């Protein structure tokens, strides 16, 4: 075990885009007089080098935001780590201008982020790559200890700091319904798709015998699911079987929904909208806003991707019609692609060789309208079902730091964040008379005008029969009941966790807590939809750094 001697001013947990932006803001701030020295700043990252969503850097995949919403431009256009500065350094600025687009490919944006990471390190920002943060604790002096493990050697390292910035990113979320098959080698998450798809397809072919058709399910109705589906279609087309491969996309709604990136809608991601959302008096109002703009990011697909996918399915129908009219088998080398709508997975289990000669996965699917249930067998499942963003809560509740906030390890799944104003006001976030309830009732009564069903939460199943009076789609898109939360933590506008008013009593008379804890990318409840996205990382980094310097 190694214990660092110095006490750091700032330890950043994670070194993805959020903390990379923090590093850039600290670098710029350090050129002026200040209390934080770069040699007392360190970021700890699990990867052995900077990486950004390496499992989904699919060919030709494009970003969903303008390049100007980069690590710094909206905060400081003169920053040396803007996307334009990157293009200039790579001698591609004029070439990018000639492309006539503001949307870079995901491949280029990933390279930009890696370039920026190299830049800040070359200017004195320290990063400990290849380390996994396993715990945080408060020491006897009231500062914070961060415990990490060096993955290459297993060495345990303890570092002390005054401030930590937790930017955990997202961890792959699998549907509870497939827990019975979670350990199967051919059940993967889209976050690891590029790393595992090759071995997955090779493994399935080896198990079934080369030339036999494959049956693969893609679960999810969002952008990642659509991109994975198209990539699998291309890969399987290049290696057709004796019969056509089968690709099923399983979604709970009646169709894929387009993302709304129109100009007025995009204003919800403006930095000043964070002030607006944070300033609402209660959680119910924020829930309504999140619901209204749900179709900007959740369970939606970029219209360009939808058009591409529709063209694939249309061409498939053309091949089938030509073959049928000529009275011959369909000789298309492409897999049979089916979007299974209104379908909810009830369970998924591994089949033994005794149950099925080729093994595989038995999936029970229910039609959410008719209630009909049937079983389908797949060789592999790719889950494009989003990410969990609550690892920060587990880290906090499993440490003695949690006691300062009145929480322990029994509560890490039951913590809600609320705004600083709510701590002072002490008012409930959800009541039977609040605006969320009233607006929801008005929606049910048809008192609000909606443009189509674009507010529908396509990730939420319904068991209502087709003949019943369906509730308003906008009402269905309200986030689920939050009564399961048992503990509230409060957070400042500057993304700092606030100690309870009775913090000293909670700590049983211990010395004052000197550490400060900042969160990034997990405050959608309090700071709005943009919090988990790249849209505000530059501005947010400046706000966090300003708060660090202000104390």
pLDDT tens-digit series, residues 324-376: 999 998 989 999 999 999 999 999 999 876 556 567 999 999 999 999 999 99
Has residue 463 got a pLDDT over 70? no
Quick one: tokens of 239?
């290696």
Q: Are 288 and 436 in contact (CB under 8 A)?
A: yes
Query: Can you tell me the distance from the alpha carbon of 439 to that of 282, in angstroms, rounded to the nearest whole number?
Result: 14
Instruction: Report, as an integer, the average pLDDT of 8-21.
Output: 97
Instruction: Specify the pairing of strand 246-250 against strand 336-340.
Output: parallel
> What pTM value is reported for the model?
0.87
| Among 51-60, 110-119, 204-213, the least confident range | 204-213
Q: Are 87 and 102 in contact (CB under 8 A)?
A: no
Burial 72-107 (b: 16+ CB within 10 A, else e): bbbbbeebbbbbbbbbeeeeeeeebeeeeeebbbbe
Burial class (CB in 10 A: 0-12, 13-18, 19+), 422: buried
Residue labelled with tokens 């961890």: 171
Among 532, 530, 526, smallest CA distance to 281 is for: 526
| Whether residue 195 sits in one domain with residue 154 | no
Please tell me the predicted confidence (pLDDT) of residue 348. 97
| Whether residue 214 sits in one domain with residue 92 | no
Residue labelled with tokens 């350090």: 30
| Whether residue 196 sits in one domain with residue 84 | no
Query: Can you tell me the distance from the alpha carbon of 122 to that of 118, in angstroms, rounded to the nearest whole number?
Result: 6
| Whether residue 525 sits in one domain with residue 540 | yes
- Domain boundary residue among 387, 409, 430? 387
Among 419, 121, 379, 399, smallest CA distance to 282 is for: 419
Please tell me the predicted confidence (pLDDT) of residue 357. 58
Please tell me the predicted confidence (pLDDT) of residue 513. 87
| Whether residue 210 sits in one domain with residue 115 | no
Q: Is residue 235 part of a domain?
A: yes
Quick one: tokens of 255?
């169709």
Q: How confident is the model at residue 413 (pLDDT cuts 50, 70, 90)?
A: confident
| Whether residue 346 sits in one domain with residue 222 | yes
The mean pLDDT of the chain is: 87
Q: How confident is the model at residue 209 (pLDDT cuts 50, 70, 90)?
A: confident
| Whether residue 147 sits in one domain with residue 186 | no
Domain count, the chain: 2
Query: Can you tell me the distance from the alpha carbon of 525 to that of 391, in angstroms, rounded to the nearest whole number?
Result: 16
Please tell me the predicted confidence (pLDDT) of residue 455. 32
Q: How confident is the model at residue 210 (pLDDT cuts 50, 70, 90)?
A: confident
Q: Is residue 365 part of a domain?
A: yes
- Domain boundary residue among 387, 415, 444? 387
| Whether residue 104 sits in one domain with residue 239 | no
Strand partners, 111: none
Q: Is residue 6 part of a domain?
A: yes
Query: Can you tell me the distance from the alpha carbon of 247 to that of 227, in angstroms, rounded to the nearest whole number?
Result: 13
Please tell me the predicted confidence (pLDDT) of residue 445. 38
Quick one: tokens of 315?
């061409």
Please tell me the predicted confidence (pLDDT) of residue 155. 97
Instruction: Report, as an integer, the average pLDDT of 101-123.
Output: 98
293-323 pLDDT, tens digit each: 999 989 999 999 999 999 999 999 999 999 9
Q: Is residue 499 part of a domain?
A: no
| Whether residue 235 sits in one domain with residue 153 | no
Has residue 424 got a pLDDT over 80? no
Instruction: Report, as an integer, the average pLDDT of 21-46.
Output: 88
| Whether residue 34 sits in one domain with residue 96 | yes
Q: Is residue 19 part of a domain?
A: yes
Q: Are 225 and 381 in contact (CB under 8 A)?
A: no
**Domain span including residue 41:** 2-170+514-550
Our CA dihedral for 529, 285, 259, 524, rounded to 10 degrees, sits at: 20
Has residue 539 got a pLDDT over 90? yes
Q: CA triplet 416, 417, 421: central angle to 5 degrees?
A: 130
DSSP letter at 105 equals B
| Among 103-107, 124-128, 198-202, 458-462, the least confident range | 458-462
| Whether residue 224 sits in one domain with residue 154 | no
Q: Is residue 350 part of a domain?
A: yes
Please tell me the predicted confidence (pLDDT) of residue 469. 30
More confident residue, 23 or 461: 23
Q: How confident is the model at residue 452 (pLDDT cuts 50, 70, 90)?
A: very low
Which CATH number does the domain housing residue 250 bear?
Answer: 3.50.50.60
Q: How confident is the model at residue 454 (pLDDT cuts 50, 70, 90)?
A: very low
Give the number of C-alpha atoms closer than 13 A to the C-alpha of residue 158, restricted to the C-beta side. Answer: 11
Has residue 509 got a pLDDT over 80? no
Q: How confident is the model at residue 215 (pLDDT cuts 50, 70, 90)?
A: very high
| Whether residue 201 sits in one domain with residue 104 | no
**Helix-helix angle 303-326:223-238, to 10 degrees:** 40
Instruction: Report, as an integer, the average pLDDT of 145-158.
Output: 97
Rg (CA), the chain: 25
Query: Can you tell me the distance from the alpha carbon of 44 to that of 161, in angstroms, rounded to the nearest whole number?
Result: 13
| Among 208-212, 382-386, 420-424, 434-438, the least confident range | 434-438
More confident residue, 418 or 454: 418
Neighbouring residues of 220: CB distance < 8 A, sequence distance ≥ 6: 190, 249, 250, 251, 299, 383, 384, 385, 386
Query: Can you tell me the distance from the alpha carbon of 327 to that of 127, in angstroms, rounded to the nearest whole number?
Result: 65
Has residue 532 got a pLDDT over 60? yes
* Rounded alpha-carbon distances, angstroms, from residue 481 to 219, 431, 484, 527: 24, 12, 7, 19
């Amino acid at each position: 075990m190694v214990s660092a001697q110095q006490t750091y001013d700032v330890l950043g947990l994670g070194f993805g885009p959020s903390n990379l932006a923090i590093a850039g803001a600290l670098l710029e701030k350090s050129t002026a007089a200040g209390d934080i020295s770069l040699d007392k700043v360190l970021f700890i990252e699990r990867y052995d080098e900077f990486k950004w969503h390496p499992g989904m850097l699919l060919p030709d995949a494009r970003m969903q935001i303008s390049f100007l919403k980069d690590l710094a431009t909206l905060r400081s256009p003169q920053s040396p780590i803007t996307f334009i500065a990157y293009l200039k350094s790579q001698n591609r600025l004029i070439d990018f201008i000639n492309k006539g687009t503001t949307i870079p490919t995901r491949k280029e944006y990933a390279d930009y982020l890696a370039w920026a990471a190299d830049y800040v390190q070359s200017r004195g920002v320290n990063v400990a790559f290849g380390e996994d943060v396993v715990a945080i604790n408060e020491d006897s002096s009231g500062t914070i200890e961060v415990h990490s493990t060096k993955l290459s050697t297993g060495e345990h390292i303890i570092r002390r700091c005054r401030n930590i910035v937790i930017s955990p990113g997202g961890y792959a979320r699998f549907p509870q319904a497939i827990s019975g098959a979670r350990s199967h080698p051919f059940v993967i998450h889209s976050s690891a798709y590029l790393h595992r798809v090759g071995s997955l397809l090779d493994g399935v072919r080896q198990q079934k015998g080369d030339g036999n058709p494959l049956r693969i399910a893609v679960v999810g109705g969002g952008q990642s699911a659509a991109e994975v589906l198209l990539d699998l279609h291309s890969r399987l087309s290049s290696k057709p079987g004796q019969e056509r491969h089968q690709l099923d996309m399983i979604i709970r709604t009646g169709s894929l929904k387009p993302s709304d990136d129109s100009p007025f809608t995009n204003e919800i991601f403006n930095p000043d909208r964070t002030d607006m959302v944070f300033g609402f008096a209660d959680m119910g109002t924020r829930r309504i806003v999140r619901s209204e703009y749900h179709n900007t990011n959740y369970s939606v697909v970029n219209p360009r991707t939808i058009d591409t996918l529709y063209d694939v399915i249309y061409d498939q129908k053309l091949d089938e019609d030509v073959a049928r009219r000529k009275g011959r088998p369909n000789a298309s080398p492409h897999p049979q692609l089916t979007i299974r709508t209104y379908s909810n997975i009830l369970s998924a289990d591994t089949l033994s060789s005794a149950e099925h000669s080729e093994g595989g996965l038995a999936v029970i699917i229910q039609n959410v309208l008719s209630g009909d249930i049937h079983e389908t067998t797949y060789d592999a499942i790719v889950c494009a079902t989003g990410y969990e963003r609550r690892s920060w809560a587990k880290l906090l509740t499993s440490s003695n730091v949690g006691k300062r906030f009145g929480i322990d390890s029994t509560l890490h799944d039951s913590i809600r964040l609320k705004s600083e104003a709510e701590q002072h006001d002490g008012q409930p976030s959800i009541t039977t008379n609040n605006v969320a309830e009233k607006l929801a009732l008005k929606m049910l009564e048809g008192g609000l005008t909606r443009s189509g069903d674009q507010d529908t939460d396509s990730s939420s199943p319904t068991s209502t029969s087709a003949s019943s009076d369906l509730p308003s789609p906008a009402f269905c898109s309200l986030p689920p009941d939050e009564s399961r939360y048992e503990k509230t933590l409060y957070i400042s506008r500057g993304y700092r966790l606030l100690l309870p008013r009775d913090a000293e009593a909670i700590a049983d008379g211990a010395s004052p807590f000197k550490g400060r804890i900042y969160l990034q990318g997990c405050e959608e409840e309090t700071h709005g939809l943009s919090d988990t996205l790249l849209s505000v990382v530059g501005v947010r980094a400046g706000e966090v750094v300003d708060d660090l310097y202000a104390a």
